[in-house]
Structure 1
């Protein structure tokens, strides 16, 4: 019963992250707004994401580890081994984010929306490039977690 609850929690997390990363592919609106709108958006989203994302990602990894602990008797199955793959990819994704777009946030948060720096579009494009490339690793992570839980439920 505990393993089913943990796997359900993993599906909820994976659904959240999947939606978070897919929405930018469906509607890449950040490139098509004024500098003022982008600067205000960035400040607002970074205020929340800088506080919530570390908790979300660490707790997601924590539930993946709990999944492995409570399913240790299943260590020979594909469902079991997909989760360590997801954990490693999540660690890589986190490292990439911290070493690229996250370090740009303080400078961008200091922008005055009514008086943007001359190179604001270049910085926006660089930040969005770093942010968007994370989709290429984060969407597969969620697909791996979905697959693992599906296989676990249907064993």
Structure 2
């Protein structure tokens, strides 16, 4: 049963990392290459769509890692799982404190109501997102190492 939990947790976190990596390095460059109004509308739509899904994914991933850490407490690699959990906690805090406030504004913007500094806010969100992606990649790497 523990093996199934380890695999499911690693896959769930790994897919989350893949989505967030794609947002940073695939979707944002695509959206940024569009004309200004289309770019801003695309970012707003992405903020609404992913803003609804990602909180569940982040908290669910953290819960799975916590269950793995408890269930496998006396097994090899538990320290790596706990460290991954700490990194996921950091990513959740980063999200709540740094990224969600910007996203909550961004997802309501249209070409008619966006603020003058919308591009600077979008760029700030992306810088924070790069840092969060690095944190969750590190967490994923620790989970994979714990399996080995």
Q: Which category of TM-score, normalised to the shorter sequence, fits these structures?
A: 0.7 to 0.9
Moved over 6 A (4+): none
TM-score, length basis structure 2: 0.84
Instruction: Please identify the structure whose Cα radius of gyration is greater.
Output: 1
- Among 129, 132, 153, the alignment partner of 2:130 is 132
Q: 1:73 Cα shift?
A: 2.7
TM-score, length basis structure 1: 0.81
Q: Is the 8 A contact 2:47 2:106 kept in 1?
A: no
Aligned to 2:11: 12
Aligned to 1:107: 105
Aligned to 1:142: 140
Q: 1:107 Cα shift?
A: 2.1
Structure number with greater CO (CA < 8 Å, separation at least 6) is: 1
Deviations 1:79-135 (A, max 9, x none): 111011011111111111211121112322232235643322222211211222212
Aligned residue pairs: how many? 146
> Which piece of structure 1 moves more, 45-54 or 22-31?
22-31
Aligned to 1:59: 60
Q: Is the 8 A contact 2:16 2:57 kept in 1?
A: no
Q: 1:32 Cα shift?
A: 2.9
Kindly report the root-mean-square deviation, in angstroms, between the aligned alpha carbons of the 2 structures. Answer: 2.0
Hey, what's the Cα distance between the residues in 1 that align with 2:63 and 2:105? 31
Aligned to 1:50: 51
Hey, what's the Cα distance between the residues in 2 that align with 1:114 and 1:103? 20
Hey, what's the Cα distance between the residues in 2 that align with 1:65 and 1:106? 28
